A and B are shown apart, each in its own frame.
Chain A
């Protein structure tokens, strides 16, 4: 049985990849992921805010009140260099590379133009085999047009691509007027792959404290459908790699994604819920499924049920909407 797949020009032994998550902060966890059979690993994100704010905050608090009072010209010892956000992250990548042999994908999360993008190069230098660019933007300014925002994304990708040689995938949200157009433009800008889709953490209200709080909901298998549709639509129409993410919990979910055209299937919630060894279970179950259904390889399955391959392409389009409604049982 051949589970190998190509993602971002990297040859992976199988398409099961843990996506960027807090689990990846611990080296031991990453080792466990490799041991459980993961095809590659995406390291947790280095956040734009982390790079900028951490340095500024530390600077602010270490210098607050200094050089103001004769008896206390400072309040903290000055010892050694701080490894602020980025340095710590880069060191982590270096260690991960030393520890495991499967491909390592760095992840950079930000939106504004600025210094944070320089870290793409540093992630490359630290040894990452590829980079995932997670562009996460909530447009609150009513004066911004869709065009402005799209151009911002495109510029970000161009900037990063011009600074690194390793492949770059873009992780996107589905909130564009025309996802296909956006993906085509980003591919033109140099993106080597797409990770579909980003799940945003939405804010919630705490009524007891009357405060706005972030809320983390883990996904379930129900959540794969949006990615399933769009990967199905995009497969074969672009050259870039496609990674499916959001809601992949079982081997069946992964198989579905591969059949619509995903090169890799990424898991986060499933691992948080079931533990890292779940990777092994998914791979085993995938093998079983393939054996039962007489598939020989991932390559054979890949895209076999994408929009272009199926008899009724409209199933991926608006017509499918009618069908869905009609089939709904009260």
Chain B
């Protein structure tokens, strides 16, 4: 039977089979497995049926714990059920996994294996999550490639029904889950042939059913539990043969034969590697290469890791084997070895002891770790391991792929060793997320993979920034299936889509001799050579590169494509890479364009065709001069002024050399200095704001809304103006509180993202040209140098005295130094202005617990982190525990800080006579409710510390270590709606109920933003999100109302764009309230689908429509006989539609399902109206004389 060849990634391959062979899918989004659930949801939404002719039901839960509970329930009541997850998600499923396995239940969990967070979080791949489930009783089946993912998903499904053991089917996160490969797609007939319906009936017959009731989940006592537990053994003993049978049946259907352990390499091998996962693909290639060179080497791929069949294992080994290296993609600190190594050692020992070892002699076995967190695993490393085995005493418990200069575990290898084949085209493309490079490349591999006989592979690397992200695409094309599961380092085609990258990344180090280099340059062919750095020139000459240039942006402009260069650069690639004959390639691109844009009309198609033709006309081959004559040098990565830590570590990561850093370069426990984003000058803004003092009214709104703290205000003594750079602007300060001062608004040109929010909110317009404001956007490049000098000067000016400004005014608050700056958040982010405000008001004494999500990624992803310090070195201290436990984590901060404060006060009283009664009294009774009060207390504590330093009594030393806690600390718990409304709600509720002085800030974007816009319980009715493709049918959960029911929780709902002063007051009141407080902050988001420069206008519209009423509920007011609820927004003045339909998340439904959209928005409007009425009524209630 002819099967379809498709270009898909591992996630799609797994989801494809899972959706076809199940009835229920219960999931929760987590990288890198989220896409599997999204595929399943999309197919069900499109009414695609499973092999039994029914559409699987897909349900998003509130956490993986919830998903596994739902899975367990669905299985117990007879449905074929699956789930998809990874990492921490899999950990949350473990309790249910023990149950599911203990009850001998058939199911397959598909896992994109990902690192478990330890000293740091990582979204990338290794087996630490899967290894943590070894004790659950699940079968563990490993796929190494995209084709295997599809195949094993089916084999697992067939085997689980027969074996009655549940399976985790896993594959490496990102390397397999996200790698696009050309594979053969299984058909419905294949699946029907593999799945025995009788076993499905048997599964159903075991369901809980009141028609023939049974009880499961009993509680058992010491007398019987043990024996009952041993009843499952026979299933585990039978399982390996059942899996092998399924593999054999699969082979008879598809021709692809797998075994529980697949050996490849020399039949008489003496040195072999044993491993599982994508690394085995690289190892398999390398072993074949070395075998061809005459080396006696081999590889044993472990497929079924649990139940581990010792018999099948030893029978798979070549009899000649003498030395074995077992590679584990995980780390178990403190164990006598990593898990698979231990299994192998034990199995060999057992086989020898029991006399069934079919080998000439007991081999020597060593174990090693590789590839943690998707660390590259290359043929060079494979060779390094095999070479180590040549030694008499190869190193045990080694690492490969890093340089461990601390405990010397690492093996040496030659990184230059390459086995890339000549008949494979290898292309590397450097682009920006926003320039469409990845999208175009995905399109190219589809054209080649699906349109020709060639095989293709695409893997895409992104940096961790959400604005101005750099992408590197690794594409391979060749006549045979591609097994190179590693990045390209020996490219024969390199494209640089952004000219500025030449100064930042050494991309040509990956070019092989004679490779083609394509550069998008804003220069013509005659001047471009002189504009590129000297080092790049030299590389072009030395490597004899064929150098092509196009001014892509000019072609885009001239052909009406705006700033979109994707089609243009794609055309150039096809024209000069030689992957396909040029004419055939151009024809294929045009066909793809017609397919993509056909619906949008002939005009758009023709525009793209024109761009293709013009690309060819403007693509030039450059004659290479004999000598590098350039005068441009690559600038240093960071300024000379940067601290040593930044120069030695951070800068290396920034320049893309993180892989080369040795173990010793790192902190032992994941502790990093803050304030490092200031050294990463990203220069991503095309335009930056320019200040016009003569129009400015000094309102401070620009600084307030800036998501990146890259526009700031300052008041300073007039004398400083004399030393200012010539273009530094200033004006007289208009406020009475700082008489005689000068005022300035300054932009950080190299840190600004150019989002335009500041310009949009600027209320000051020129009297004669209304369109011209006190801030206007202008191109960054001509301003960069001058404004950088001005920024430096601005920073050198002293900060405004915190005690002298009116903190409760917008302007006053904006004089406070932001201690959160230049994060990697999206340009125009709606969350970060709130975090920045938090740090301005309380940052110098704040401890922040941050839930996993956008805010933990832009808040704490290396290389640089945005939380910063003031001149005294104070600033927010920050940590991210997990996604689900953030409120509890923050409460822990509070409990700890309070305890240490109490202990310090106790010691202070005890030591009063030594310290002095007056100081003791002042410290104990200090009023720390104002900036001035805190400042005074700090001075007192400093004095106390200086006294204590000279004392050596035990109590004095105790007090010295605790004295800092005598100054008020502010505990903040920050996270998104996914945390607050869903996964963390139980904890959040408990923390609110605790009555402790903890401040919770909910950055409500109304979807899981970080994982790509999945529905949460904060998602509004009628809004479209992933898992709510038909528009969310239920209203947003009213978290504020729930919190208010406690009566002793400070609750505020804010939207900075609607009322910035109300936002400011809410923060001040929440922090001042001596009890739990929660601020729910409307945070516009890229997942809402609109022009982000207008984010604040959308916030205003949300409030004006009554959808997002803003208010403050201050329990303190009730004590004064006043209503604690103050409604800060007025009656709705626009309809919900007038706000909602300005955003794609609502609007798209009107284009998808107009009728349903109309009904939903009407229902949503009613909901808004009734909620408003309820709030209005509550705000009008009388609280006098106990009347409520």
Contacts of B604 in A (CB 8 A): 55, 115
Pairwise interchain contact A62-B1148, C-beta atoms closer than 8 A: yes
A65 proximal to B (CB < 8 A) = yes
Pairwise interchain contact A67-B438, C-beta atoms closer than 8 A: yes
A63 proximal to B (CB < 8 A) = yes
Q: What does DSSP make chain A's interface, helix, strand, loop or mixed?
A: loop
A75 proximal to B (CB < 8 A) = yes
Pairwise interchain contact B600-A114, C-beta atoms closer than 8 A: no
A51 proximal to B (CB < 8 A) = yes
- Category for how many chain B residues contact A: 35 or more
CB-nearest residue of chain A to B460: A67
Question: Could you mark each residue 1129-1151 of chain B with 1 if its beta carbon is under 8 Å from any beta carbon of chain A, else 0?
Answer: 00000000000000011011001
In the assembled complex, the Cα of A72 lies from the Cα of B765 at a distance in Å of 39
Contacts of A201 in B (CB 8 A): none
B945 proximal to A (CB < 8 A) = no
Pairwise interchain contact A82-B1148, C-beta atoms closer than 8 A: yes
Pairwise interchain contact A58-B466, C-beta atoms closer than 8 A: no
Pairwise interchain contact B462-A69, C-beta atoms closer than 8 A: yes
In the assembled complex, the Cα of A64 lies from the Cα of B434 at a distance in Å of 8
**Nearest chain B CB to A9 CB, angstrom units:** 30
In the assembled complex, the Cα of A56 lies from the Cα of B471 at a distance in Å of 24
**Nearest chain A CB to B472 CB, angstrom units:** 12
**Nearest chain B CB to A117 CB, angstrom units:** 10
**Nearest chain A CB to B375 CB, angstrom units:** 15
A176 proximal to B (CB < 8 A) = no
Question: Could you mark each residue 145-185 of chain B with 1 if its beta carbon is under 8 Å from any beta carbon of chain A, else 0?
Answer: 00000000000000000000000000000100010000000
Assuming the A-B contacts A79-B1029, A88-B1154, are A71 and B601 also in contact, with contact meaning beta carbons closer than 8 angstroms in the complex? no
Pairwise interchain contact A79-B42, C-beta atoms closer than 8 A: yes
Pairwise interchain contact B442-A67, C-beta atoms closer than 8 A: yes
Question: Could you mark each residue 469-483 of chain B with 1 if its beta carbon is under 8 Å from any beta carbon of chain A, else 0?
Answer: 101000000000000
Pairwise interchain contact B471-A71, C-beta atoms closer than 8 A: no
**Nearest chain A CB to B72 CB, angstrom units:** 27
Pairwise interchain contact A69-B466, C-beta atoms closer than 8 A: yes
Assuming the A-B contacts A72-B1010, A84-B1151, A115-B603, are A67 and B439 also in contact, with contact meaning beta carbons closer than 8 angstroms in the complex? yes
Pairwise interchain contact B1145-A76, C-beta atoms closer than 8 A: yes
A141 proximal to B (CB < 8 A) = no
A:216-246 near B, CB below 8 Å? none
Contacts of B770 in A (CB 8 A): 210
Contacts of B1024 in A (CB 8 A): 76-77
Pairwise interchain contact A71-B31, C-beta atoms closer than 8 A: yes
Question: Could you mark each residue 78-118 of chain A with 1 if its beta carbon is under 8 Å from any beta carbon of chain B, else 0?
Answer: 11111110001000000000000000000000000011101
In the assembled complex, the Cα of A84 lies from the Cα of B1010 at a distance in Å of 29
Pairwise interchain contact B1086-A75, C-beta atoms closer than 8 A: yes
In the assembled complex, the Cα of A72 lies from the Cα of B123 at a distance in Å of 12
A285 proximal to B (CB < 8 A) = no
**Nearest chain A CB to B566 CB, angstrom units:** 10
CB-nearest residue of chain B to A57: B1144
CB-nearest residue of chain A to B34: A71
Pairwise interchain contact A64-B1029, C-beta atoms closer than 8 A: no
Assuming the A-B contacts A65-B433, A83-B1154, are A71 and B1012 also in contact, with contact meaning beta carbons closer than 8 angstroms in the complex? yes
B45 proximal to A (CB < 8 A) = yes
Assuming the A-B contacts A64-B1086, A66-B439, A71-B857, are A58 and B603 also in contact, with contact meaning beta carbons closer than 8 angstroms in the complex? no
Pairwise interchain contact A67-B602, C-beta atoms closer than 8 A: no
Pairwise interchain contact B600-A82, C-beta atoms closer than 8 A: no
In the assembled complex, the Cα of A74 lies from the Cα of B1145 at a distance in Å of 13
Assuming the A-B contacts A61-B1090, A68-B433, A118-B602, are A82 and B1152 also in contact, with contact meaning beta carbons closer than 8 angstroms in the complex? yes
Question: Could you mark each residue 413-457 of chain B with 1 if its beta carbon is under 8 Å from any beta carbon of chain A, else 0?
Answer: 000000000000000000011101011001000000000000000
Q: Contact partner of B466 among A65, A73, A114, A118, CB < 8 A? A: A65
Pairwise interchain contact A70-B1144, C-beta atoms closer than 8 A: no
B41 proximal to A (CB < 8 A) = yes
B595 proximal to A (CB < 8 A) = no
Pairwise interchain contact A76-B466, C-beta atoms closer than 8 A: no
CB-nearest residue of chain B to A80: B1152
In the assembled complex, the Cα of A114 lies from the Cα of B603 at a distance in Å of 6
Contacts of A115 in B (CB 8 A): 601-604
A148 proximal to B (CB < 8 A) = no
Question: Which of B438, B603, B1010 counts the most chain A CB atoms within 10 A?
Answer: B603
**Nearest chain A CB to B606 CB, angstrom units:** 8
CB-nearest residue of chain B to A51: B601
Pairwise interchain contact A77-B1011, C-beta atoms closer than 8 A: no
A59 proximal to B (CB < 8 A) = yes
**Nearest chain A CB to B407 CB, angstrom units:** 31
Contacts of B344 in A (CB 8 A): none
Pairwise interchain contact A72-B1029, C-beta atoms closer than 8 A: no
In the assembled complex, the Cα of A52 lies from the Cα of B42 at a distance in Å of 27
Assuming the A-B contacts A64-B1089, A65-B1086, A83-B1154, are A58 and B433 also in contact, with contact meaning beta carbons closer than 8 angstroms in the complex? no
In the assembled complex, the Cα of A63 lies from the Cα of B1086 at a distance in Å of 10
In the assembled complex, the Cα of A93 lies from the Cα of B335 at a distance in Å of 73
B105 proximal to A (CB < 8 A) = no
B1026 proximal to A (CB < 8 A) = yes
Q: Contact partner of B1013 among A75, A80, A84, A88, CB < 8 A? A: A75
B1087 proximal to A (CB < 8 A) = yes
Assuming the A-B contacts A61-B1090, A118-B602, are A67 and B1012 also in contact, with contact meaning beta carbons closer than 8 angstroms in the complex? no
Assuming the A-B contacts A51-B601, A70-B32, A115-B601, are A75 and B1089 also in contact, with contact meaning beta carbons closer than 8 angstroms in the complex? yes
**Nearest chain B CB to A242 CB, angstrom units:** 33
**Nearest chain A CB to B1160 CB, angstrom units:** 15
B38 proximal to A (CB < 8 A) = yes
Pairwise interchain contact B599-A84, C-beta atoms closer than 8 A: yes
Assuming the A-B contacts A61-B1090, A76-B1144, are A69 and B433 also in contact, with contact meaning beta carbons closer than 8 angstroms in the complex? yes
B1123 proximal to A (CB < 8 A) = no
Assuming the A-B contacts A68-B466, A68-B471, are A83 and B1013 also in contact, with contact meaning beta carbons closer than 8 angstroms in the complex? no
B1025 proximal to A (CB < 8 A) = yes
Q: Contact partner of B1011 among A59, A71, A84, CB < 8 A? A: A71
Contacts of A70 in B (CB 8 A): 31-32, 123, 174, 178, 462, 464
Q: Contact partner of A77 among B31, B45, B826, CB < 8 A? A: B45
CB-nearest residue of chain B to A205: B770
In the assembled complex, the Cα of A63 lies from the Cα of B600 at a distance in Å of 15
Question: Could you mark each residue 1069-1103 of chain B with 1 if its beta carbon is under 8 Å from any beta carbon of chain A, else 0?
Answer: 00000000000000000110110100000000000
B2 proximal to A (CB < 8 A) = no
Contacts of A79 in B (CB 8 A): 42, 45-46, 1029-1030, 1152
In the assembled complex, the Cα of A70 lies from the Cα of B471 at a distance in Å of 10
In the assembled complex, the Cα of A64 lies from the Cα of B436 at a distance in Å of 10
**Nearest chain B CB to A211 CB, angstrom units:** 8
B1016 proximal to A (CB < 8 A) = no
**Nearest chain B CB to A126 CB, angstrom units:** 16
Question: Which of B460, B471, B600, B1087 counts the most chain A CB atoms within 10 A?
Answer: B600
In the assembled complex, the Cα of A114 lies from the Cα of B607 at a distance in Å of 11
Assuming the A-B contacts A67-B442, A68-B434, A82-B1151, are A76 and B601 also in contact, with contact meaning beta carbons closer than 8 angstroms in the complex? no
Contacts of A118 in B (CB 8 A): 601-602
Pairwise interchain contact B1026-A77, C-beta atoms closer than 8 A: yes
CB-nearest residue of chain B to A66: B439
B1009 proximal to A (CB < 8 A) = yes
Contacts of A66 in B (CB 8 A): 439
Contacts of B599 in A (CB 8 A): 55, 81, 84
**Nearest chain A CB to B346 CB, angstrom units:** 37
Assuming the A-B contacts A61-B1089, A114-B603, are A72 and B1144 also in contact, with contact meaning beta carbons closer than 8 angstroms in the complex? no
Given pairs A61-B1144, A76-B1148, 4 additional interface contacts (CB within 8 A): A55-B599, A70-B174, A71-B32, A77-B1024
> Please, could you name 6 A-B residue pairs with CB atoms under 8 Å apart, sorted by A?
A55-B600, A55-B601, A68-B432, A69-B462, A71-B32, A71-B34
Q: Which residues of B contact A (CB under 8 A)?
A: 31-32, 34-35, 38, 41-42, 45-46, 123, 174, 178, 432-434, 436, 438-439, 442, 460, 462, 464-466, 469, 471, 599-604, 765, 770, 826, 857, 1009-1013, 1024-1030, 1086-1087, 1089-1090, 1092, 1144-1145, 1147-1148, 1151-1152, 1154
Question: Which 6 A-B pairs give the minimum distances between C-beta atoms?
Answer: A68-B433, A115-B603, A72-B1012, A115-B601, A61-B1089, A67-B438
